[in-house]
Structure 1
Amino acid sequence: MPYRRLPNTDQARVRALKAAVEKGEMYNVRDLAITLKTLFEARNFLHRFEAAQIYYTQCYDNQSRASRKHQMNVKTARLYISHFIQVLNLAVLRDEIKVTHKELYGLPASNTVPDLLSEASLVEWGKKIIEGEQLRTTQGGIPIYNPTIARVKVHYDIFLDSYERQKNYQALTNRSLDELASMRDRADELILDIWNQVEAKYQDVTPNDTRLEKCRDYGLIYYYRSSEKIKEEKEISC
């Protein structure tokens, strides 16, 4: 005997609910396999659940599109910040800048580049070197060129702007996903109730294939076990 299995994706849940709701619009009350109360609940819930799914998809798509551009901004900002620190270290090695001035940037005395892999570290070190360079030059220090701090700041500000936007996109996506996830249990309850009512309605229908087909019309999904598939294939070949 084939067995049924509840939907395990949001798209499948929507399809299952739609199948039942559409049958309710086609059949009169006497022929309907589910109660009017269940039909009413399914119809109202379907509108909200489908809207939540669409909103989550939109939020995710917006985040994905923005992420591609944001990653380019991250790459450019990392390049300029890293390059500036390297040039600063070389200036210290050439005694053009005192090693003690590195404290203005929050940099260690050793001629190393901080870890800039994470976006949070880019936010931190970009701010430090911009403020440090401005402070050093106001004290009479010679500005660093190639890249200048002005060019670094341009790309840092572009990165920072997209960084904040990306966080907002992520927050919207997470909230929409939480809202959608909170509705799944109710969706499964409704689908299970509908399927139980449908199977009870057609439990005496024969032959079995006809009964299964009537149930499938309401969105029920049946699966055959491997042994049943093999047996069915043999019967067809005979």
Structure 2
Amino acid sequence: MISVSEMAVSLNTISKIRGLLNRFRRLSEYYKDCFDNQSKASRKHQENTKLARLYISHFIQVLNLAALRMEIKPAQKNYYGLQPNVHNVPDLISETALMEWGEKIIVGEMKRTSEGGIPIYNPTIAKVKVRYDIFVESNERQKNLQRLTAESLEDVTLMRPQVDELILDAWNQIEDYYKDVPDVDKRLDLCREYGIVYYYRAGEKKD
């Protein structure tokens, strides 16, 4: 066991390293937990998003067909934010668009049926709303998880300069401590005992 007097790194530096290491490890582990939670929830969120998009898209298609067959008044499509003479499904690729159009068709269907209109079936607005609500809740949860991941990563990133500074300080102390060892290989081996790793650059040959 190396005695204190024989150590290549000062006790002050070692104390700083231990304190910083514990903090850095905790932050890194917390970031990993946040990232894992976000990744796991993301798979479920993608499924919820896919189903919501499917139900909303299908409802709009059925609504458009009903208007073409004059089962509902084309002008009533305005209740849903849809143009009477346009029969395409709006772009639902983004989650923002999905949230916007989901709310529009739910409000529109409630308004039309409250005026005595025949409800759209297959899917009913109740089924659409269930899928939409699940998507909205999932979307909010995913945003919160993303926020936690981003914040925890920032905490880790902010600590890196302190970590790098201490590593460099310890590195310099170790190399300075063994600088008078004449045998280069022996000197490098002694430094390696403290965890210093030397790499040769591309094309650089070992003497």
Report TM bin, short chain.
over 0.9
SS of the counterpart of 1:205?
coil
Q: 1:46 aligns to what?
A: 21
Q: String of CA shifts for 1:7-61, please: whole Å, max 9, x gaps.
A: xxxxxxxxxxxxxxxxxxx532101111111111111000000111000000000
Q: Which residue of 2 aligns with 1:81?
A: 56
Tell me the CA shift for residue 108 of structure 1.
2.0
Name which of 158, 167, 173 aligns with 1:182.
158
SS at match of 1:200: helix
**Structure 2 equivalent of residue 120 of structure 1:** 96
Deviations 1:212-235 (A, max 9, x none): 111112121211134444x66xxx
Q: Deviations over 1:166-185 (max 9, x none)?
A: 00100000000111110011
> Which structure 2 residue ranges, 5 or more long, are not aligned?
none
CA RMSD of aligned residues (A): 1.2
Structure 2 residue corresponding to 1:172, chosen from 148, 155, 159: 148
CA shift in 2, pair 1:87/1:176, >3 Å = same
The residue that corresponds to 2:42 in the other structure is: 67
Letter aligned with residue 117 of structure 1 = I
In structure 1, the residue matched to 2:118 is 142
Please, what TM-score do these two structures have when normalized by structure 1? 0.84
Does residue 1:104 correspond to 2:79, yes or no? yes
Deviation at 1:208, TM superposition (A): 1.0
Q: Unaligned stretches of 5+ in structure 1? A: 1-25, 233-238
Tell me the CA shift for residue 210 of structure 1.
Answer: 1.3
- Aligned-pair CA distance for 1:144: 0.2
How far apart in 1 are the matches of 2:20 and 2:150? 21
**Which TM-score applies when normalising by structure 2?**
0.96
Does 211-220 or 55-64 show the bigger shift? 211-220
Q: Percent identity?
A: 60
- Figure out how many residues of one structure are paired with residues of the other and give that number: 206
